[in-house]
Structure 1
């Protein structure tokens, strides 16, 4: 099956809504820094606003995602996007506002639409035959990486060439458009609750914790690549200006990797085994970035890491679909989204602490060690249910 089977009107409408909802998320941290950078202590204030935004995203995903009801998900998703659009507009209209007020608006802008990623993914996959789900999730990953490749340049050009608030005002307009676009999508999706048999949503979601840990580990690698790379290049005597092209190459390779993963109907091994193997590959590539001494080796390692990282994203989404009932899919995607944010923040914090006392290369290797701990925890979590199942089978015999 080719990707052409996804080129239907409903899927293309979904892609436009998803693009409009995700570009503001990708632009927000950098846009918040540009919003206040010209005031006294602007970079520190901007970092605080970006942190408030990310915290809002994590909290919003955990709180709002599990409350989505499959049959009537459209209204709460649209309300969340509309509130997010209002918060972004408020930030863009008062760049000189009190930092506490701006921080509250940034947190609201992150929290209100945080369930949209999971909800939109569930809307996409629920309306497709099972044979197209892998390709649909691969195409979604291509869209995501394309958004993340474009957003830094777009936010920078708008802030420096037009006006500092303009990226945030664009984000508000895009979220408003996504809100309107929700009425071109289905109201929800059908989910059979019989397979939960009275189990609470929290307990159902907890079954997927190894997959959430894998998601956190994957984004901790991205944090290392983004945040430590400029300092590493400087340490190696390479021009810091190469950081932008290298990260763009990482994003392009990730989009290509997602497309390649979806071209093949199936890959060897279980989904969770594929995810762990790919994540170990990404970790090895990032470790190579930390010890490489030349631009060629650093670029090559980042390109391979990008190719593999997109496979991790697709397989962990497919693993959640396999492990949890349909009624929990949107909530699980939202919890995974929150876990990814926590992993990014934890790795960023660790890299910052290590860099204050050691070289950038040591910071990268410390982050790799942190990721391996997460990978090990996830692997143990994957094995325990299998052992219990095997023991139950042996006892029944």
Structure 2
């Protein structure tokens, strides 16, 4: 099916609201770094605030996302966006406040609207025929990467060219506008009737998909490296820090192109699990090249290739998660995935802050890549276990049922 089938008025309205909700998230980490970088220990403080912000996102996604009610999702999402807008405004209006105050506001800004990515995705997919779901996920990825392409450059221009607090204030305005725009969208989605949403079975279904969440965390840890270390890395190499915004914008443009190619291609060699793990290792190699490079062209090239591959990681993981969960658990699963990705980002941000306070930015990149590869190994081992059990079960005569249980979530092609 063609992407043109998604060009309907409801989907376009959804896209406008989604952009307003996503832009603050994309701007926040770099904006926090620029907000405090002139203070003593500013880069370490900025990384710490970004980590607090993402921890807030993790907690908000895990708690608020699981509490979304199908018939009242619009109200719940709008309230969260409104509270987040107030917190962003608080950070922007008090750049010289005590770090604890900034941390509390940053945490609230991350937590309050954190259910919106999973909720908005469910609002989109629930209104589309099954044949359009993969194209919709690909188009959503393009939208997200387009936002991430614009956000760093916008944050850099506003913070360095106008005033450091301005990106945070713009984020507040955008979130408030998205909260109002929710009333142009459906009130929610239909409640599931398959019984899979009952507490115990829901928890078991979500827990069984844990390797997918670990890979999501690994992917976001690489994003944290690219975003939080880049300004300091450029300074270390004697390159103007103002290049951080355009370089990250190029990373996101490349990611958007990769998402389009992933959806257009239809099918790719290997299972979804194999695709995501191989692509993650390749992205880690690109980030290592960025950390070791001493010139702007090599840094830019490494980021462009990393972005092209990163989109494949994200899409294959989303499709794997959708395969691994019953329909009634999709909304909760997206929120848990978002929370797990936030954990990866936060852990990488804390690691980056700690290493940068005692070593060079390039050392921080290498430490972060080591963290990512460790998570990739854990995820690969977690996904290999059920496959081994399924093969053993199939090898035993009359054990077809056990094999089916072990392999109940077969991989399918990305298209």
TM above 0.5, yes or no, is: yes
Query: Are 2:30 and 2:228, in contact at CA under 8 Å, matched by a contact in 1?
Result: no
CA distance in 1, matches of 2:46, 2:232: 20
Aligned 1:206-285 pairs, distance under 5 A: 206-233=207-234, 242-285=243-286
Measured in 1, the distance between the counterparts of 2:355 and 2:85 equals 37
Change in 2 beyond 3 A, CA 1:257/1:50: same
- Structure 2: distance between partners of 1:161 and 1:46: 19
2:270 is paired with a residue whose SS is coil
Alignment partners' CA distance in 1, 2:233 and 2:87:
36
| 1:136-176: CA deviation from partner (whole Å, max 9, x where unpaired) | 11111111112122122323433455554433332222212
Change (3 A) 1:246 1:4: same
How many residues are matched?
397
Structure-1 separation of matches of 2:93 and 2:355: 38
SS in 2 for 1:268: coil
CA contact (8 A) 1:66 1:201 kept: no
Deviation at 1:343, TM superposition (A): 1.2
Q: Deviations over 1:318-353 (max 9, x none)?
A: 111110112221221112112212212222333444
Output the CA distance in 1 between the equivalents of 2:109 and 2:91: 9
Distance in 1, matches of 2:215 and 2:45, equals 32
Q: Deviations over 1:213-267 (max 9, x none)?
A: 1111111112222333445455556565544433322121111111111112222
State the Cα distance separating 1:28 from its structure 2 match.
2.4
Residue of structure 1 equivalent to 2:110: 110
Structure 1 residues 60 and 389: alpha-carbon distance in aligned structure 2, compared to 1, 3 A threshold? same
Where in structure 2 are the equivalents of 1:162-173 lying within 5 Å?
163-173=163-173
Alpha-carbon distance between aligned partners in 2 of 1:364 and 1:96, rounded to the nearest angstrom = 29
Question: Counterparts of 2:175 and 2:199 in 1: how far apart (Å)?
Answer: 36
Q: What is the match of residue 179 of structure 1?
A: 179
SS of residue paired to 2:195: helix
How many Å apart are 1:48 and its aligned residue? 4.9
Show CA shifts across 1:12-51 (max 9, x none). 0110010011111122234445556677877676555434
Mean alpha-carbon deviation: is it higher for 97-106 or for 319-328? 97-106
Could you say if the C-alpha distance between residues 335 and 342 of structure 1 is closer, same or farther in structure 2, counting changes exceeding 3 Å? same
Asked if 1:85 corresponds to 2:85, the answer is: yes
> In 2 relative to 1, CA 42–228 (structure 1 residues): closer, same or farther, beyond 3 Å?
closer
Q: 2:105 & 2:261 partners in 1: Cα distance?
A: 39
- The range that moved more, 289-298 or 130-139, is 289-298
Cα distance change on mapping 1:132 and 1:305 into 2, 3 Å: same
Q: Give the superposition deviation at 1:99.
A: 4.9
1:1-397 matches, within 5 Å, as 1-33=1-33, 35=35, 48-95=48-95, 99-159=99-159, 163-190=163-190, 191-195=192-196, 199-233=200-234, 242-292=243-293, 294-355=295-356, 358-395=359-396, 396-397=398-399
8 Å CA contact 2:47, 2:353 repeated in 1 = no
Q: 1:40 to 1:379 in 2, by over 3 A?
A: closer
Whether the aligned pair in 1 keeps the contact of 2:290 and 2:298 (CA below 8 Å) is yes
Stretch moving more, 12-21 or 179-188: 179-188
Shift of the 153–285 alpha-carbon distance from structure 1 to 2, 3 Å rule, reads closer
State the distance in 2 between where 1:88 and 1:230 align.
22
- The alpha-carbon deviation at position 7 of structure 1 amounts to 0.7
Q: Is the 8 A contact 2:27 2:151 kept in 1?
A: yes
Contact map agreement 2:118 2:335 (CA 8 A) in 1:
yes
> Gaps spanning 5+ residues in structure 2: where?
400-415
- With structure 1 as the length reference, what TM-score do the two structures score? 0.89
Specify the alignment match of 2:408 in structure 1. Answer: none
Cα deviations by residue, 1:199-226 (Å, 9 ceiling, x for unpaired): 3433221111111111111111122223
* Counterparts in 2 of 1:384 and 1:268: CA distance versus 1, 3 Å: same
